[in-house]
Amino acid sequence: MKTVAIIDYGMGNLHSVSKAVEHVAPDTRVLVTDNADLIRSADRVIFPGVGAIRDCMAEIRRLGVDELVKEVSRDRPLLGVCIGMQALMSDSEENGGVDCIDVFPAHVRFFGHKLTENGKRLKVPHMGWNQVQQVQDHPMWHKIADDERFYFVHSYYAEAEGNADIAGRTRYGVDLAAAVAKGNIFAVQFHPEKSADAGLQLLKNFVSWNGS
Q: Which residues are catalytic?
A: 82, 191, 193
- Determine contact, residues 187/178, Cβ cutoff 8 Å: no
| Nearest Cα to Cα of residue 200 among 143, 132, 116 | 143
CA distances from 15 to 11, 20, 207 (A): 12, 9, 17
d(CA 31, CA 18): 8
Strands 89-92 and 104-110: parallel
d(CA 200, CA 212): 20
